[in-house]
Amino acid sequence: MNGELGEESLMKMEMEEGGGRERVVYMCGYLPGALPQRSPILSPVVVRLPQSIGAGSYWKDVSGGGCGFAMAISDSGKLITWGSADDLGQSYVTSGKHGEMPEPFPLPTEASIIRAAAGWAHCVAVTESGEVYTWGWKECVPSGKIFGDQSLVLGIEKNVAERQSSFSLEQVSPRSQGSRSSGGAIAIVDNKGGGEETAKRRRISSAKQTAESSSSGDETLSALPCLVTLNPGVRIAAVAAGGRHTLALSDIGQVWGWGYGGEGQLGLGSRIRMVSSPHPVPCIESTDLGKDRTMAISQGSMASEGHGFAFRVPGNYVKGIACGGRHSAVITDAGAVLTFGWGLYGQCGQGSTDDELSPTCASSLLGIRMEGVAAGLWHTICISADGDVYAFGGNQFGQLGTGSEQAETLPRLLEAPSLETVHAKIVSCGARHSAVVTEEGKVFCWGWNKYGQLGLGDVIDRNIPSQVAIEGCIPKNVACGWWHTLLLTESPT
């Protein structure tokens, strides 16, 4: 769920240099609608391109996916989706109703898709011309030009409402896990305690969020693909989707955000619950210094403003974006990390559990040039230019990779033996698991593994990075969905 400025041209160059080497997508984890028996895939399996897009086509990139569906992109710029199932609450408006067979998603444009991302139940895609389309949960779709027959979404309100309720439970309790009921639907069960008080918190939050996010009785809760209205001349290069919010990164490094912002995840300085049109997120301007001023004073410039301080963030533009469940993170061209949004588990990396309403520099990382960032439901992972991995936030299932289940409110360097001799290059986060690809062509996963999303052949959680066995191919990218993982590989020379 991260976007990097310039990755598209890099990938194109790599394909040209690679002489058209075969690209293969592998998947592991749980997609309810993609599996006839609704069983998890414990080890990576090959995902075949649909024949409908023509012979000789190949996979271009992987985009992760949302709750129960996966997304990837073909060389012809088609957005390919699979895993949707209406009977499990996965609306075809969001994920394509394609079941186990990957098929092109019916976007209302012939333009090639170069980037895509998915939140819990909304999607966003970028065309080669920098236009943005989004669809799914209506509250995540800003005002814009709607395509298609809106009557198609009538009758799915019940499924969407159920999905919203499920998402509310997932967001509130870090101890909740998905388990299959007799009907095959996902049930949220608190397996590690919490008692009556936890259950009460869930009921209150569920009712509150459903009320906040529901539309009036004469409106549907899902929206067809919408062309997002941006300011004239704005061209988007990358997108990221969180639980109920979206960030977009322009080709000049400006961040735009829309959707739900009740915990500050849109970085607009307030707890604005709903932003119905894209707003610029002030990242590079003077910002809060974070909780630790000492290191920052020696690394950057500070200026007195009244009784407080303002800090000039290192860098001139944003080059990477990521959305978690209710928080966000960005990286500047100088390698500084800024976070904003929900901080209950330390996922903003500021040394506290406070929410951050505006982009705030992770001061403990100043002086370390960061190259990549990804965010999960309650955690954040960064990788440095030196190939080191830093993690912070919730750690209930080992998703930080620190060797324990203790939350970290400040970024912590992973010192796992498995990472000592490798250089992390690409990072992605699922709801409660994490993955990296290294320069040496290795893949490591850790965290929640109830549905085999780590690709390690079992359903045992891991609290340290564990290598995934991929033979005869070179990993090029990894993208985690909520309960699954996609890996893009290339044949060797």
Query: Left if phi > 0, otherwise alpha if psi is -120 to 50, otherwise beta: which for 94?
Result: alpha
Which structure tokens are listed for 141?
């779709």
* Residue 269 pLDDT grade (very low, low, confident, very high; cuts 50, 70, 90): very high
pTM over 0.85: no
Q: What is residue 193's predicted lDDT score, i.e. its pLDDT? A: 34
Q: Which residue has the higher pLDDT, 122 or 202?
A: 122
Lowest mean per-residue pLDDT among 116-125, 155-164, 390-399: 155-164
| Range(s) of the domain holding residue 307 | 293-490
> Which amino acid, one-letter code, is at 207?
A
Residue 232 CB neighbours (<10 A): 4
Model confidence over 404-441: pLDDT tens digits? 999 999 999 999 999 999 999 999 999 999 999 999 99
Query: In the predicted model, is pLDDT for residue 184 greater than 50?
Result: no
Q: Give the number of domains in the chain.
A: 1
Span 349-364, mean pLDDT? Answer: 97
Q: Is 338 among the domain residues?
A: yes
Name the helix (H) or strand (E) containing 162.
helix 157-172
Name 323's bridge partners.
Answer: 328
In terms of average pLDDT, the best of 184-188, 296-300, 376-380 is: 376-380
Query: In the predicted model, is pLDDT for residue 392 greater than 60?
Result: yes
Query: Are residues 463 and 401 in contact, defined by beta-carbon separation less than 8 angstroms?
Result: yes
Q: Is 191 among the domain residues?
A: no
User: Which of 393-404 are b and which e, b meaning 16 or more Cβ less than 10 Å from the residue's Cβ?
Assistant: bbbbbbbbbbbe
What's the CA gap between 251 and 130, in Å, rounded?
8
Which structure tokens are listed for 202?
């869930």
Give, in order, the Cα–Cα distances in Å from 328 to each of 156, 180, 322, 477: 30, 30, 6, 21
What angle do the packed helices 195-213 and 157-172 form, to 10 degrees? 140
Which structure tokens are listed for 346?
């330390």
Q: What is residue 300's predicted lDDT score, i.e. its pLDDT? A: 40
Q: Is 368 among the domain residues?
A: yes
Query: Left if phi > 0, otherwise alpha if psi is -120 to 50, otherwise beta: which for 472?
Result: left
In eight-state DSSP terms, residue 315 is S
What's the CA gap between 265 and 262, in Å, rounded?
7
Q: Is 96 among the domain residues?
A: no
Q: Is 100 among the domain residues?
A: no
Coil, helix or strand at residue 12? helix
Span 213-232, mean pLDDT? Answer: 69
Q: Is 83 among the domain residues?
A: no
Q: Which residue has the higher pLDDT, 95 or 114?
A: 114
* Helix, strand, coil distribution of the chain in percent, nearest 5: 15, 40, 45
Name the helix (H) or strand (E) containing 206.
helix 195-213
Span 459-485, mean pLDDT? Answer: 96
* Residue 333 pLDDT grade (very low, low, confident, very high; cuts 50, 70, 90): very high
End-to-end CA separation in angstroms for the chain:
30
Span 319-326, mean pLDDT? Answer: 98
What is the chain's mean pLDDT, rounded? 79
Lowest mean per-residue pLDDT among 10-19, 135-144, 416-425: 10-19
Q: Is 335 among the domain residues?
A: yes
Q: Is 347 among the domain residues?
A: yes
Reference 228, options 323, 136, 159, 162; nearest CA is 136
Span 181-200, mean pLDDT? Answer: 29
In eight-state DSSP terms, residue 287 is B
Query: Are residues 148 and 133 in contact, defined by beta-carbon separation less than 8 angstroms?
Result: no
Model confidence over 286-319: pLDDT tens digits? 455 554 443 433 344 433 333 345 567 899 999 9
What is the CATH number for 381? 2.130.10.30
Q: Which residue has the higher pLDDT, 95 or 19?
A: 95
- Among residues of the chain, what percentage have pLDDT more than 70? 72
Query: In the predicted model, is pLDDT for residue 230 greater than 80?
Result: yes
Q: What is residue 459's predicted lDDT score, i.e. its pLDDT? A: 97
Span 6-15, mean pLDDT? Answer: 42
